Amino acid sequence: MSLLAVSDLHTHFHTARGLLRAVDGVSFTVERGESVGLVGESGCGKSTLGKTLLRLVDRTAGTIQFDGQEIGALPQRAVRPLRRRMQMIFQDPFGSLNPRQSIGQILTAPLVVHGRGDRRERRRRVGEIIDLVGLPAGAIDRYPHEFSGGQRQRIGIARALILNPDLVICDEPVSALDLSIQAQILNLLVDLKRDLGLSYLFISHDLSVVRFFADRVLVMYLGRVVEAADGPDLWQNPLHPYTRALIAAIPDPARRKHAAPLTGELPSPEDVPGGCRFHPRCPIATARCAAEEPQPLVFSHGHSVACHHVGGLQS
């Protein structure tokens, strides 16, 4: 049984300009101990997907099974005990930490909410987690503004892990960090996964980070997963024209002063193109692509892709 199994998930919002289909029919699984990468550009729905899984926003349709239990339709009161097992790490560690609370207070709050231990026991657990994420022991009595960006992200990670979750959803956890700090945080997340047996859903727009971190990768475009595959398989044999374009757009010293970028802009999710959503920007689109939405086809090793022309692409 998968730790997380999502099936035909939809999250729609009503806006002044009409229906915004942020997540529009997404299915995937996360196995125990697996890190699944979710890549896509802004507006593709990847952050909304993460929030829907945690029940921070309500789904419109579809099922979310966590450890065999359907949680998509649970009332919020029943969701709370599950939150202990599903946690989130955010992009902006500063914006997500209360500046008036000491690190000790920030880390104790989840233990109090979930009724964990007595005062002494909590203090011990906070000290343990601070050590685990590589913060100095003295951090406990200090405040968020006293820390650098990298250390704040360690605080965010400590808060997510203090209740011993099974699944951690990381939403752009290193995007705001300088390169030399980014490596420190990525290595820490890898160590924690190994030592604590965590599973990750790792949301990022940065393909090179996802390539390093993810066992399996989902590529999202305008609310849909257009391609899913094991990491090495995806990088060596990308099938969807959008995945190919994303990989080709990674700046690369080997391609000196040469770019063949995808033309056009990302359409608004309030105005999703008919047929294949990618067809207005696709270099190989045909009349069929404008008329008919392609369904995901599964190739070998669980490599699935939603494109009418995938046979032609493979050759």
- Closer to another protein by CB, 120 or 257: give it: 257
Query: Nearest approach, Cβ of 18 to another protein (angstroms)?
Result: 17
**How far apart are the C-alpha atoms of 92 and 162, rounded to whole Å?**
19
CA-based R_g, the chain, Å: 21
Give the contacts of 88 (CB within 8 A, at least 6 positions apart): 50, 54, 160, 168, 169, 170, 171
Query: Nearest approach, Cβ of 25 to another protein (angstroms)?
Result: 22
- Closer to another protein by CB, 109 or 190: give it: 190
Tokens of 181: 């700090």
Query: Nearest approach, Cβ of 257 to another protein (angstroms)?
Result: 6
**How far apart are the C-alpha atoms of 27 and 64, rounded to whole Å?**
9
- Closer to another protein by CB, 90 or 213: give it: 213
Q: Which residues bind another protein (CB under 8 A)?
A: 41-42, 148, 150-151, 178-184, 186-187, 190-191, 205-209, 211-213, 231-232, 235, 245-246, 248-259, 261-263, 265-266
- Closer to another protein by CB, 84 or 211: give it: 211
Query: Nearest approach, Cβ of 42 to another protein (angstroms)?
Result: 6
DSSP label at residue 203: E
Query: Nearest approach, Cβ of 250 to another protein (angstroms)?
Result: 6
- Closer to another protein by CB, 5 or 103: give it: 103
**How far apart are the C-alpha atoms of 217 and 226, rounded to whole Å?**
11
Query: Nearest approach, Cβ of 184 to another protein (angstroms)?
Result: 5
The full 3-state SS of 234-302, as one line of letters, equals HHHCCCCHHHHHHHHHCCCCCCCCCCCCCCCCCCCCCCCCCCCCCHHHCCCCCHHHHHCCCCCEECHHH
Q: Quick one: 270 exposed, middle or buried, by C-beta within 10 A (0-12, 13-18, 19+)?
A: middle
- Closer to another protein by CB, 208 or 295: give it: 208
Largest CA distance in the chain: 68
- Closer to another protein by CB, 82 or 181: give it: 181
Give the contacts of 106 (CB within 8 A, at least 6 positions apart): 97, 98, 144, 155, 159
- Closer to another protein by CB, 206 or 293: give it: 206
Q: Cα dihedral sign for 220, 225, 227, 232?
A: positive
Helix (H) / strand (E) element for 177: namely none
Query: Nearest approach, Cβ of 235 to another protein (angstroms)?
Result: 7
Query: Nearest approach, Cβ of 315 to another protein (angstroms)?
Result: 24
